[in-house]
Amino acid sequence: MTDLPILSLAIWVPILAGIAVLFTGGDKHAHIARWVALAGSIVAFLVTVPLYTGFDFSYGGFQFQELIEWIPAFNIHYHLGADGIAVPLILLTSFTTIIVVIAGWEVIQKRVAQYMAAFLIMSGLMIGVFSSLDAILYYVFWEAMLIPMFLVIGIWGGPNRVYATIKFFLYTLLGSLLMLVAFIYLFHQSGSFEVIDYYQMPLAMNEQILIFLAFFMAFAVKVPMWPVHTWLPDAHVEAPTGGSVVLAAIALKLGGYSFLRFAMPIAPDASAYLSGFMITLSLIAVVYIALVALVQQDMKKLIAYSSISHMGFVTLGFFVFNQLALDGAIVQMISHGFISSAMFLSVGVLYDRMHSRQIADYGGVANKMPKFAAFAVLFAMANSGLPGTSGFVGEFMVILGALQANFWYAFLASTTLIFGAAYTLWMVKRVFYGEVANHHVAELTDINKREFFILALLAVLVLGFGLYPQPITELTNATVNQLLMHLSQSKLPIGL
Amino acid sequence: MTDMQSIYLLIPLLPLFAAVIVGLFGSQLPRSAAHVLTILGVGASFALSAYVFVDALQGNVYNGTVYTWLTSGDISFEVGFLVDRLTAMMMVVVTFVSLMVHIYTIGYMHEDPGYSRFFSYISLFTFSMLMLVMSNNFMQLFFGWEAVGLVSYLLIGFWYKRPTAIYANLKAFLVNRVGDFGFLLGIGMVLYFFGSLNYDAVFTIAPHLADATVSVIPNTEWSLMTMVCLLLFVGAMGKSAQVPLHVWLPDSMEGPTPISALIHAATMVTAGIFMVARMSPLFELSTTALSTVMVIGAITALFMGFLGIIQNDIKRVVAYSTLSQLGYMTVALGASAYSVAMFHLMTHAFFKALLFLAAGSVIMGMHHDQDIRNMGGLRKYMPITWITSLIGSLALIGTPLFSGFYSKDSIIEAVKLSHITGSSFAYFAVLAGVFVTAFYSFRLYFLVFHGKERWMEKPHEEHTPHTHEVAAHSDDEHHHVVHEEHHGLGPDDKPHESPWVVTFPLIALAIPSVIIGYVAIGPMLFGDFFNGVIFVDIHAHPVMHELAEDFHGAGAMAMHALTSAPFWLALSGVVLSWFFYMKRPDIPAAIKAHTVLINKILENKYGFDSFNEKVFAAGSRFIGNKLWQIGDVKLIDGLIVNGTARLIGRISGIIRQLQSGLIYHYAFAMIIGVFLMLTFWFAKI
């Protein structure tokens, strides 16, 4: 099993499948494109399964490593590896790709092959981000995944897609450039692009702070953290359903993951020094953004703001420096992948029928779509962090972990119990309950088998991980433990 | 797995399976499958609970893990059961009332299109409530806690077309979440300071931390125990509807009556009482917390009782009565009389479930008119409902020998003996509450079952009080109010007694409402029933000890009561209501006309609702809008993001002037460039 280059397969199978889909031809052969894409996504998921089954739970370092020389002149390698933080995210990525392919099945009617190919290729590139152990390789994947996302929003997006794509592209690109500068500086100091080398490298405090801030610009945009979040609601509103799903479920996690992979272990002293700053931004995200979500009139915007608020828990969990909170932050990332997918898919179900995202255009949908309403209420409850759903687990752990650092962190974070429920369930009330609001709602038909299948799949996962989250923490425990050990050791040069 | 372990597991899982099967396949199965499956599940669960109760009576205690939910570093969270007598008693009460409500529902909901959905929900509720009471740790307690909240939300909004129902269920969920906010922080404190969430470990460590302090605000020292207990109690205030988090319970009456009986009277709302009793080893360590508990309970007991007097909706009268009785239980907790609180919880579960189900029977008889002003003389038409209601009311007001007498009188006596801060106010409140309870209970009883048959002369009023309310709350829903499903009796109709599936549960609940107090008071309060389960610091809070000295058997207690204040207060309440509503109905009208201000305060329910609506709800929306419009749109996007874009646009606009498109301009620039480069090149050399 370990002889196979699993991570390479995980990256290149979907990319090659995507290219194959491109060759199926124009929309006349759309059904071939769909089936090839589905087959490709399933194979791509299956090749990632050994990452879980073959994982050594007791080892906190990188597993499944592959190392090949790439550009010897600059000491750049094709170096892959995954630890307990990367593996769940890789599995989430390959799984979500299947969902996206099925979700776009008959909804996308123009340029089907390109649409499916974009998601498959994006999936491979994002797995590349999660598994790169060479800074340049990572950077290439990181930037490359912007292109298919840019195309997805730009081609299949809504009326205001040009503004949204440019905002999305520039926001993320500007952040990334500073990250490149940081990498070049680190290369200059160490002569290596190996991430693992950077972990051991002593750095003075001012160097660490600058490096941390450069990373921060890149990752905070991606997460997104307040106040660099405003690209996300616009991007979501304009993106097609599949785009929103990938954006929320995976793209945001690239930012969270990268904090753990780069910013924190490379600059641990700066991370500790700036933790108050990071926690403040996280708590602003939790409280401020939740209040903003409350007053949204557009369902997608509301869920987008809800995502930002939930990601606040992730960064909060990172920077209180204890195992419970950090494990919780990772669980929150995975769980948010399922729940936000489900929420955006649900909006997609409505949008495909009514071509509106405005809450005011709906009312009494439950009368006409009882099965769908049952799913929607379940996912809404998961989004409100109800125990028994995966949405509870991460928040619970982060709140309990944050309390160990400071009571008031937990106090502010816990307001999500009230505000999270308020914005989610108020939307449910206005969209699903009440009398049938108008003749458009009266004509709605309940979800079909395809829609039922994907929502049911996500429902099973949301409930499954809510009732038994242990498999996630089993993966992360050793790695998180090692990371916290590493963070507790100063990297300041001796003698300073 | 031993036999007992399998039984413990089956008790919550049987209702869950029934709920899942009926919930998923209800539409494909025949209608009767819904009630057959769920009644089988809950019935088996009740039988097994009874078996477990008998086992627990022999002193057997089980405390074990079912599975490890999650491990993070050294901390592990488990799903597990603690089955002692406290748990076993709750299990029997919950499954018994639930079984009765299941049977009753066959009759009450038989025309409803959501028949199977309703059965699925109430079975799911039974599962959740059992998980709550059987838990051996705070995590699972919180799970059950929120799960019953979820089912309550689903059931209050069961008729999801009604604007009042979907307003009420959102309100219920959010107010409960305010309580859970405190509760979760309390759990967080427990984990941090006790290092575990298992009851066992926490209770063992608690005495060692009795004098520990925390410095939550710099330079202040708060007692750790007080803080933990108060935070946990905030959760209890939400779930058990204590002032000021009581506002959701009256509105929850929008749900179908069977669940008002099961969830909003007998079981879920008592979860807070159960929780505090379970946490007695913690609460005993903080007299400050106990005082707070007692005062909040006393306020709830008295002031919510007043509101029961002016209600005209039959369910709302019973709802305010529930609030008031929950206040009594809370007062008992504050007096360190945990066992008395649990005792009242049990008797109340029977007689209040009975009163609600009887009210539902009346509503059916009246063709869904809930206004007691349109009723009267129903005893002729609904004899079983009449007798059982009378039994329930007598139990509620504390008539000697009835179950409610033993529990309520013990509460009053316990408060009398308590000397912690606030106990004199609480004593006054619970005593005055006796009169108020008797008055509103028999006002309801006389107006419904005796006197003139008013449905003949006054067909029905279109306006029930709660439709007014909602219209006032949310103008946007105003136009929906006309859809209210209040039919009422036509001029030629007569009320009719309900079918046996409805009357049987009434009878089955009436029996314990009469006898359970007499039977159980000895062992439960003064025997060893709660030994090793409920912990009381006998030196600091000797209330129960002193109470036991005065107790000489249930019969003697009833005899003694005839000479004590509560009995005469209750009797005068009954007599006064008889005089007001049977003899001289003009008097209450005259009083109402002369006490406009008081009446207005009561009708506005002391203004809690409008305050919450105006300050918290509107305030959050206002702040949210400002943060969005000013923070996100104007400052971040307008000034920084698009501002940067505009700035770049302006600069590039200037630079663009250079690109004239004329070749000789470019050629000229190139030549200059080449010269400059060469200059530098040579200068370097």
- Distance CA(A473)–CA(A84), nearest Å, equals 9
Least confident of A254-258, B1-5, B60-64, B539-543: B1-5
Find the mean pLDDT for residues A417-436: 93
Q: What is the pTM of this model?
A: 0.91
- Cis status, amide bond into A224, omega within 30 of 0: yes
Test A386 with B150 for CB contact under 8 angstroms: yes
CA of B79 vs chain A CAs: smallest distance (Å): 10
Which of chain A's residues have a Cβ under 8 Å away from the Cβ of B214? 407
Distances (CA, A) of B503 to A397, B11, B39, B285, B500: 48, 27, 17, 46, 5
* pLDDT above 90 for A339: yes
Test B641 with A381 for CB contact under 8 angstroms: no
Name the average pLDDT for chain B.
88
Report residue B341 as tokens: 């609180």
Closest residue of A to B171, CA-based? A422
Test B624 with A387 for CB contact under 8 angstroms: no
- Give the phi and the psi of residue A39 in degrees, each rounded to 5: -60, -45
Least confident of B32-46, B504-518, B521-535: B521-535
Query: What's the pLDDT tens digit per position in B465-501?
Result: 444 333 334 433 333 333 344 567 766 778 888 889 9
Test A324 with B631 for CB contact under 8 angstroms: no
Strand partners, B70: B77
- Distance CA(B558)–CA(A34), nearest Å, equals 80
SS3 A402: helix
Find the mean pLDDT for residues B44-54: 95
Q: Residues with Cβ < 8 Å from A234, sequence gap 6 or more?
A: A160, A163, A164, A167, A168
Kind and range of the H or E run holding B82: strand B75-83
User: Which band of pLDDT confidence, cut at 50, 70 and 90, is reported for residue B684?
Assistant: low
For residues A125-155, one letter each, b for 16 or more C-beta atoms within 10 angstroms of the residue's C-beta and e for the rest, the string is: bbbbbbbbbbbbbbbbbbbbbbebbbbbbbb
Residue A110: what residue type? K
Listing DSSP states for B571-627 in one string gives HHHHHHHHIIIII-THHHHHHHHH-HHHHHHHHTGGGHHHHIIIIIIHHHHHHHHHI
Say whether residue A387 is in contact with chain B using an 8 A CB cutoff: yes
Strand partners, B215: none
Within 10 angstroms of residue B63's Cβ, the number of other Cβ atoms is: 13
Distances (CA, A) of A244 to A44, A153, A381, B305: 21, 9, 20, 52
Query: What's the pLDDT tens digit per position in B401-411?
Result: 999 999 999 99
Test A292 with B184 for CB contact under 8 angstroms: no
SS3 A341: helix
Structural contact between residues A274 and A318, judged by C-beta atoms closer than 8 angstroms: no
Structural contact between residues B173 and A421, judged by C-beta atoms closer than 8 angstroms: yes
Nearest Cα residue to B411 out of B433, B440, B441: B433
Report residue B287 as tokens: 């007299």
Which of chain A's residues have a Cβ under 8 Å away from the Cβ of B189? 403, 407
Q: Do β-strands B62-72 and A76-82 pair in parallel, antiparallel, or remain unpaired?
A: unpaired
Query: What's the pLDDT tens digit per position in B346-381?
Result: 999 999 999 999 999 999 988 888 888 888 888 888
Give the model's pLDDT for residue B596: 85
Which of A231, A432, A435 is nearest residue B483 as measured by Cβ atoms? Answer: A435
User: Strands (DSSP E) along B155-303, which ranges?
Assistant: 213-214, 222-223
Mutate: best of A417, A475, A482, partner B, most B CBs <10 A: A417
Listing DSSP states for B283-317 in one string gives HTT-HHHHHHHHHHHHHHHHHHHHHHHH--BHHHH
| Residue that has been written with the tokens 């649900």 in this structure | A346
Query: What's the pLDDT tens digit per position in A145-197?
Result: 888 988 898 888 888 888 888 888 888 888 888 899 999 999 988 888 999 88
User: Strands (DSSP E) along A197-290, which ranges?
Assistant: none
